[in-house]
Each structure stands twice: as structure tokens, then as C-alpha cells.
Amino acid sequence: MVDFLGLMKQASELKSKMEAMQAELEASEVEGVSGGGLVTVKLNGKGDLKGMRLDESLLQPTEKEVLEDLIVAAHADARRKVDVMMKDKMQSVAGGLPLPPGMKLF
């Protein structure tokens, strides 16, 4: 028979761990870089843009399209890093949870 009291306790513990993980993600930052370091974008663990650094050589009217492309590339790089960080944290939080076959939390 299923131990519902045990499952409820596990669910409560998981909720607490998830809340702590969300706070940790919001406080953490990752950097995405493009153009060999000409553009750097900072995102927090939730994907919110926290800052950007542009090399002055890109601030020319003739470099507008290049700058736009480098910003998009740096953001994509940072976003990939956020996704990896989130996946790793989710794995550590839910790693010991007995889930039915085929069910995933992320």
C-alpha cells in the first residue's frame, strides 16, 4: 500500500527545496559572450537581463548590424548557460524523488 503520509512529507520537502532553488537562481548570474569578448551580457538565473558591456569599437554607425547580431549571440550564449544551470539544480533537487517511469520534472 502507498504511504500517503510519507509522500506528503516528501512533497512538502520538495516544495521547500524548490523555493530555495528559485531564490538561489534569482541571486546567481551568468555571462554570455560574443565577438571574442566584444559583447558581454549578464543574466540572472531566471533569465532576466542584468547588464551588458559593449566594446567601444562597435559604437560606430557602420557597425550597427554587427552590434545587433553580437548582442543576440551573447544573449543566446547566456541563455544556454542559464538553462544548463537550471537543469543541474533541478536534478540535484529532484534527483532522489521516486517518480513513475516516463515522468519528468523538467
Query: Average pLDDT of each block of 10 consecutive residues along the chain (106 residues)?
Result: 76 81 87 97 93 95 95 97 88 65 56
What pLDDT is attached to residue 95? Answer: 66
Cβ(48)–Cβ(61) under 8 Å? no
Cα(95)–Cα(99) distance, integer angstroms = 10
Residues 17/93, Cβ–Cβ less than 8 Å: yes
Determine the pLDDT at residue 98. Answer: 57
Q: Cell triple for residue 49? A: 537581463
What fold does the segment set 28-93 form as a domain? Answer: Ybab; Chain: A; (3.30.1310)
